[in-house]
Amino acid sequence: MSRIDQEGWILKSVQDIQELAVDKFLGEPDLDPLKWQLRVVDHQTSEGRNELVQLAKEAVNSRDDILRPYLTGVEQFFKHAAMYERVPRTREGILDLVTQQITAQTQGISQEEIRSVVEIGPIADDLAILASATQPYREDPELVEKNSRFIWDPLKKELFMYIGPEENRILNKSRLLGLIPFSYIDTLRVTKIGSIGASVVATELDLLACLGAEDITAFDKGKLDPQDIARAPGGMGDFRNSGLPKALLLMRTLQGRNPYGKYLGVPGNVIFSKQETEGEFDTKIEDMSEGLEFLFEVIDSAVGKVNTRTYSEKFLPSTPLLWIADAGSDPFVGIEIPGNGNWFNQNLTRVEKETMQQGLEFSLNQLRAIYMMVNRDLPDDHRLQLLFTRLGLVPYFSQTPIASRESAAIAAKLVLFQLGGRDMSGKNFHSDEAPKTLVDEFDRGKSEILRKIMTQLFNISIPQERQEDFSI
């Protein structure tokens, strides 16, 4: 179909829908992030109560819809509170109880061996935290109602009641018990994260919000295209969102994960020193980076990527800088410490850096710069795709939904480790190189003891030829 035929067909389709659909044109959507943000209403205060009365009149959803999230949360919360009632409140108390119970139900395993296994990792410490955190609710169940909040959605004119911030955190942590140290999650929660870009990084930021991050700001002037939908997380990846600002859609997705998080999506560009602001929501890098504790750079602009390095190297020398490359079948993620000057963790020479920055006003030089940023880590399937791009046959870099999910998981582990005090900078991590666990690993001896304990507790018969696998 020729371009003229396409335009004719589109014009006819538009004409048909204009004739059939009811005219409800409300103008262009307001891009002010505050008009898109969910709003928390504390109905325990007189001011909040008055606001709630007004919002209840405006709400279009039913009473059952309003109460459903809260009632579901309360039911689950008290199940957890009851479950932790029999758990000691200290690490030592938990380890003593577990060791005693295992000793009474197994044979041929000493208490010292049992203790050496069950004390590995954060599970005893964090179980004690949950047992202590839920104790006040067992003593005063009305605390859940006192801490509850109402959430107002200004876009949809919907109102919801929900469990309070602390109760929400307790439930979130309960699903991480023993697998991710709560100390990592607590540090993540208060870390101020800023992202230049809200597209490729969307899945990663969504995952961090699920883990407990509560202070995220993302800048992106772009709008969601149909080709972005498959890689976008949650409600953001919806065809009905086509043409809407990615930053605002991401903000709404993060708030859906946790309505109490401080999430902001800014539909504007991050502007560097020599550039001029053009749009209402464009933000200077100096303002964006104020108080920042972790910087994400995930944009498809070679100029923006280079500018981020030159600026952060000078003004944010010790702030971790994370970047993601959803490259072919083998995506990778890296953390840079800008002051070290190791751009993209590629160990570039001074001459290579100068070459990377030359003539970036031309598209071919931009493509060259992009290639130099990923060259040492690029899988050959994506290198071949980039070759076709260089020859003008492919208009953009392919990025699969698989790669976006895989890179998000790698990035989340690196961020948690970095915040937990382990320096993960200076290297780009592929899936086979990323940390497999976020807790202390078992050596062979401890692993064998654990497997023997499990076999006896579950009364599993092991064939004679496999007995050696469980020997101590």
Q: How confident is the prediction for the chain on average, in pLDDT? A: 91
**How sure is the predictor about 1, in pLDDT bands with cuts at 50, 70 and 90?**
very low
In terms of pLDDT, which residue wins out, 394 or 236?
236
**Does 250 have pLDDT greater than 60?**
yes
Position 4 pLDDT exceeds 50: no
Q: Candidates 2.40.160.20, 3.40.50.1820, 3.20.20.140, 3.40.50.720; correct CATH number of 180-430?
A: 3.40.50.720
What does the alpha-carbon distance between residue 162 and residue 147 come to, in Å, rounded to a whole number? 9
Q: What are phi and psi of 246, to 5 degrees?
A: -65, -40
* Position 232 confidence tier, pLDDT thresholds 50, 70, 90: very high
Q: Which of 439, 320, 429, 331 is nearest to 381 (CA)?
A: 331
Alpha-carbon distance 296 to 277, whole Å? 21
The secondary element (H helix, E strand) that includes residue 272 is none
Which pLDDT tens digit goes with each residue over 257-283? 999 999 999 999 999 977 777 889 999
Indicate left, alpha or beta for 38 from its phi (over 0: left) and psi (-120 to 50: alpha).
beta
Pairwise CA distance, residues 231 & 200, whole Å = 7
Q: How far apart are CA 298 and CA 220, in angstroms?
A: 10
Sequence-distant (6+) residues with CB within 8 A of 179 are 437, 438, 439
Helix-helix angle 363-374:350-357, to 10 degrees: 150
What is the per-residue pLDDT for 465? 62
Averaged over 250-262, what is the pLDDT? 97
Q: Tens digits of per-residue pLDDT, 292-335?
A: 999 999 998 999 999 999 999 999 999 999 999 998 789 999 99
- Above 70 in pLDDT, residue 181? yes
Q: Is the pLDDT of residue 445 over 80?
A: yes
Q: How confident is the model at residue 423 (pLDDT cuts 50, 70, 90)?
A: very high
| Rounded average pLDDT over 16-37 | 69
The sheet with strand 158-162 has its strands ordered as: 39-41, 149-153, 158-162
Q: Parallel, antiparallel, or unpaired for β 193-196 and 149-153?
A: unpaired
How many angstroms separate the CA atoms of 326 and 297, rounded? 13
Contact present, 336 and 294 (Cβ < 8 Å): no
* Closest-CA residue to 375 (of 425, 413, 325): 325
Q: Which residues pair with residue 325 across a beta bridge?
A: 332
Whole-number pLDDT of residue 5: 52
Nearest to 307 by CA among 191, 267, 315: 315
Domain ranges within the chain, ordered by starting residue: 33-166, 180-430, 442-472
18 Cβ contact partners less than 8 Å away, ≥ 6 residues apart: none
Residue 397 has pLDDT above 90, yes or no: no
pLDDT digits (tens, 9 = 90+) for 133-162: 999 999 999 999 999 999 999 999 999 999
Q: What is the pLDDT of residue 11?
A: 53
* Alpha carbon distance 122, 114 (integer Å): 16
